[in-house]
Amino acid sequence: MKRILAADIGGTTCKLGVFTPDLELLDKWEIPTDTTDEGSRILEDIHQSFKSKGDDHELNLAGVIGIGLGVPGPVDFNNGILNGAINLNWMEQKPIVSEFESISGIRTIVDNDANVAALGEQFKGAGSGHKDVVMVTLGTGVGGGVVSNSMLIHGHGGAAGEIGHLYVDYNRRFQCNCGKKGCLETVASATGMKNLAVHYYESGMTDTLLKNGIEAGTLSAKSIVEAGEKDDALALKVIDEVAHYIAVALSSLSAVTNPKYFILGGGVSRAGRMLTDRIEAYYRPITFPPAYENTEIVMAELGNDAGIYGAARLVKQFLA
């Protein structure tokens, strides 16, 4: 029987999946990610786990069309090279396609984890039935992926879809991990929410439920959302500003790629309507009408499975 395999490699666990050639999920499971010894056993562990599952799914190497891998780092898609992944202790450039192919004998394709999650949501999740979607993952940082005409956009150097680094804060108040200031990630991720809360607290908004957390350095995005639900003025100012910057980013994404859906995921998106209602209110008045008319802002549906769906889809698109 023909099968497609997928692995979404994270810093703690690897999510593995077995699919039919029509991308029906037959089974999924997780294995721990062994990042010791510079992560030298990660790929072998994935291969062994699939091998040991073989009998369950009429799975044998000869019947595998290919495997798709999602990895937490920047990928040169055309050449199958990962430019390092700090969370996996892969500090150097890694020719991951050729390495996995020589371990397994299975044709391999690799992309960034945010990209494969976007592709998964596009074809099987919240974007199902539409060819043009943008996924925005609001977590510790801000990640994302742009799917246009059912294909991920990679760009010349593989740095397309880097939504967290859209330049939105003209005041350039906070330092980003990328070395710049003003990135969406500095004002709209969990980290960004904390940046803003501390900033306005230090600017004099000290009458807040968040006072202890800020003073103790234990502030979390979750505590800001909870304070917002209690109408805390500082928390609401932060949430309002987060929504404004996300709306600016969505407006840019609309004028450039005109998606049917913006699919929001990640922990910060769990703020729910308090956040999304504000995003909607800012987004439409600043956006070119033909570029938002049929566009909807929706929540991701596949959760942690988005990555394996997208990785399997890549196999179908490029190796089948």
- The answer to whether 58 contacts a copy of itself (rule: CB under 8 A) is no
Applying the rule CB under 8 A, the residues between 206 and 245 that interact with a copy of itself are none
- State which of residues 25, 81, 151, 274 lies at the interface with a copy of itself (CB under 8 A): 151
Query: Degrees (nearest 5) of the Cα angle 113, 116, 121?
Result: 125
Binding-site string for a copy of itself from residue 74 to residue 113, where x marks contact by CB under 8 A and - marks none: x---------------------------------------
Q: How far is CA 266 from CA 100, 134, 138, 181, 307, in A?
A: 29, 14, 5, 22, 13
- How many positions of this chain bind a copy of itself (CB under 8 A)? 50
To 10 degrees, what angle do helices 42-53 and 96-104 make?
A: 40
Local structure of 178: helix, strand or coil: coil
Residue 21 DSSP code:
T
Applying the rule CB under 8 A, the residues between 290 and 319 that interact with a copy of itself are 290-291, 293-295
- The answer to whether 153 contacts a copy of itself (rule: CB under 8 A) is yes
38, 30, 28: which is closest to 10 by C-alpha?
30
Candidate ranges 4-12, 32-40, 124-132, 192-200; the one touching a copy of itself (CB under 8 A)? 124-132
Applying the rule CB under 8 A, the residues between 245 and 274 that interact with a copy of itself are 248, 251-260
- The answer to whether 29 contacts a copy of itself (rule: CB under 8 A) is no
Distance CA 227, CA 212 (A): 12
Sign of CA dihedral 86, 89, 95, 96: negative
Binding-site string for a copy of itself from residue 181 to residue 200, where x marks contact by CB under 8 A and - marks none: -xx-----------------
Applying the rule CB under 8 A, the residues between 158 and 177 that interact with a copy of itself are 158-163, 165-167, 170, 172
Cβ-count burial of 78 within 10 angstroms (0-12 exposed, 13-18 middle, 19+ buried)? exposed
Distance CA 313, CA 20 (A): 11
When the beta carbons of 102 and 175 are compared against a copy of itself, the nearer one is 175
Residues that bind a copy of itself (CB under 8 A): 74, 130-132, 146, 148-149, 151, 153-163, 165-167, 170, 172, 178-180, 182-183, 248, 251-260, 285-291, 293-295
